[in-house]
Amino acid sequence: MKIQTKITLHFLTLSTGVLLLLNTFIFYFEYQFNYRDFFKRLQARVKLTTDIRLFPGEKARAYQEMRNRFLEKLQGETEHIIKASPTGMFVNQGLPDDFFADLAANGNAEYKKENQFFAGKIVARGNDRFMVVVSARNPYGLQELDELKSVLFFGFLGTLIIVFFVGKVFSFYTFAPVRKLTNRMNEITSNNLHLRLDTPGKDELAELSNTFNDMLTRLETAFETQNNFVSNASHELRTPLTIINSEVELALDKAGDDAAQHEMLTTIQTETNKLTQILNSLLLLAQSGFDGKKQDWQNTRIDEAIWQAIESVKKIQPKSQIEVDFSKLPDDENLLEVSGNSNLLHLAITNIISNSCKYSENKLVTIQLRVEKSMVVIAIKDQGIGIPADDMKHVFVPFFRASNTHDFKGHGVGLPLALNIIRLHRGSIGIRSEVNIGTEIQVFLPSVKA
């Protein structure tokens, strides 16, 4: 999951918690206010009932008239007046037991049972004591709470939707610099390690950009050092080897009929030539990677590159048998074009075909060319000795040779060199093999048109 999505979800979760807490507080305080307000209305009616029923007179009649004219009749409103016995005890006449006991003990009480509310107090008149109670239902209060519940619920859902989209917009713009940084990093490859990231401002992203720039500087230095060392070492070593080879050839011409000396000089010449080939391969291997400059790229037809590679292999191994299968070519020939350096691609394909011919001991090698989605695929299949399973993970390691290749000449540079070149062209190589059955290597290169 992307960090941008995570932030949106975290933002939504946090907002959900805050909204739930806020709605809970709103409902709770409205609930308390609603019930307290209704109890106050009951207490007012208790006082009026006391004045009207227990203290009749002119004032009581005025209260009664005011009550009839201005005071709303509550739903299910009922008045209870209970007179204490001569011993001062009250007898419950249908009131809830808890409410009656609380009122008798404290002289004033409020009680709620479901939607039935009770309010009462004990009033003294002369030597007599009276328990005055008013009860009523509060359907409008419940209706208000239900409506508030609906408003809070739908408001909660609507707010969550708004918060979600606000969170997406917020995270999108928050991570805009990160996306810009990522896009810039994707532009930097082994061909342009001299490029650097922009470092505007002094925030954490600028610090991260500076860290990446420092890393790129170290990488560029390491690549240049390695490439220069291999190039210079190969060049400097080839000069004395060329001199040695020339001197050996002169010595062979002067050796005459001395068989032992002739054999010794021939061995020196052979090993010198072998060392020269290794150095040439090493130099090519280095040059196929980072060289501080962008390669000279152009559009290249892969089918033409295959024919040129076959021609080169035939010159080195005249007895090789190579069959080309073009049965799966696309109708649009432009799909066979790839962007790259034609010389390097020629070298990579030639190395793979040459390996297949060499290790198949001139048995038939089949080359198939096809296009899959946006990739040009070259499948090279031989009927050779195959590669042991334990050696498969090392076949692209420079100078590694499989354990069953002792009878074949080679330096273990061909496949690593081919892999470097294919990767340089944003492609990949797949390989599968079985011992004594054969090996198939598939090269994937991005098509220009696709």
Alpha carbons 423 and 32: distance in angstroms, whole number: 72
Alpha carbons 195 and 120: distance in angstroms, whole number: 86
User: In degrees to the nearest 10, what's the CA dihedral of 336, 337, 343, 344?
Assistant: -80
Long-range contacts of 120-126, Cβ-Cβ distance < 8 Å, separation of 24 or more: 120/46, 120/80, 121/46, 121/50, 123/50, 123/54, 125/54, 125/55
Give the DSSP letter of residue 88: S
267 and 365 fall within a common domain:
no
Residue 144 lies inside a defined structural domain of this protein: yes
Q: Which domain holds residue 131?
A: 3-157
| pLDDT at residue 361, as a whole number | 86
pLDDT band for position 287 (cuts 50, 70, 90): low
- The CATH number for 271's domain is 1.10.287.130
390 and 327 fall within a common domain:
yes
| pLDDT at residue 410, as a whole number | 77
148 and 27 fall within a common domain:
yes
Mean pLDDT of the chain, nearest integer: 84
| pLDDT at residue 278, as a whole number | 63
**Which of 273, 445, 278 is CA-nearest to residue 346?**
445
pLDDT band for position 341 (cuts 50, 70, 90): confident
Higher pLDDT, 43 or 237: 43
Sign of CA dihedral 31, 34, 36, 39: negative
| pLDDT at residue 191, as a whole number | 65
3 state SS of 386: coil
10 and 115 fall within a common domain:
yes
Residue 296 neighbours by CB under 8 Å, 6+ apart = 341
Residue 175 lies inside a defined structural domain of this protein: no
pLDDT band for position 388 (cuts 50, 70, 90): very high
Over residues 327-349, mean pLDDT: 86
| pLDDT at residue 304, as a whole number | 92
275 and 402 fall within a common domain:
no
Q: List pLDDT tens digits, range 415-434.
A: 888 898 898 888 999 999 99
Q: List pLDDT tens digits, range 197-223.
A: 777 777 777 888 888 888 888 887 877
Residue 14 lies inside a defined structural domain of this protein: yes
Which of 263, 287, 311 terminates a domain? The answer is 287
145 and 30 fall within a common domain:
yes
Tokens representing 273 are: 């030539």
Over residues 394-409, mean pLDDT: 84
| pLDDT at residue 346, as a whole number | 86
Cα separation values, 402 from 320, 394, 406, 417, 444, Å: 21, 8, 8, 16, 24
| pLDDT at residue 396, as a whole number | 87
Tokens representing 419 are: 């892999």
271 and 309 fall within a common domain:
no
Provide, rounded to the nearest whole percent, the portion of the chain with pLDDT above 70: 89
Residue 381 lies inside a defined structural domain of this protein: yes
pTM above 0.75, yes or no: no
3 state SS of 156: helix
Residue 194 lies inside a defined structural domain of this protein: no
| pLDDT at residue 172, as a whole number | 83
Query: Which amino acid is present at 121?
Result: K
Alpha carbons 205 and 208: distance in angstroms, whole number: 5
Residue 60 lies inside a defined structural domain of this protein: yes
* pLDDT at position 266 over 70: yes
* pLDDT at position 143 over 80: yes
Alpha carbons 135 and 112: distance in angstroms, whole number: 9
| pLDDT at residue 190, as a whole number | 65
Residue 200 lies inside a defined structural domain of this protein: no
Q: List pLDDT tens digits, range 365-381.
A: 999 999 998 899 999 99
264 and 119 fall within a common domain:
no
| pLDDT at residue 63, as a whole number | 64
Over residues 34-51, mean pLDDT: 86
| pLDDT at residue 224, as a whole number | 74
Which of 254, 287, 320 terminates a domain? The answer is 287
| pLDDT at residue 261, as a whole number | 82
Identify whether the C-beta of residue 370 lies closer than 8 Å to the C-beta of residue 429.
Answer: no
Out of 53-57, 245-249, 419-423, pick the least confident: 53-57
| pLDDT at residue 235, as a whole number | 67
| pLDDT at residue 70, as a whole number | 58
* pLDDT at position 295 over 60: no
List the helix and strand counts (H, then E) for the chain: 10, 11
Q: List alpha helices for 288-403, DSSP H.
A: 302-316, 342-359
Over residues 216-242, mean pLDDT: 76
145 and 12 fall within a common domain:
yes
- The CATH number for 330's domain is 3.30.565.10
Provide, rounded to the nearest whole percent, the portion of the chain with pLDDT above 90: 24
138 and 261 fall within a common domain:
no
| pLDDT at residue 118, as a whole number | 94
Cα separation values, 357 from 89, 351, 380, 422, Å: 119, 10, 10, 20
DSSP 203-234: SHHHHHHHHHHHHHHHHHHHHHHHHHHHHHHH
Identify whether the C-beta of residue 137 lies closer than 8 Å to the C-beta of residue 117.
Answer: yes
374 and 336 fall within a common domain:
yes
Over residues 34-43, mean pLDDT: 87
10 and 149 fall within a common domain:
yes
Out of 186-195, 378-387, 423-432, pick the least confident: 186-195
Residue 420 lies inside a defined structural domain of this protein: yes
> How many domains does one find in the chain?
3
Q: List pLDDT tens digits, range 115-142.
A: 899 999 999 888 889 999 999 988 888 8
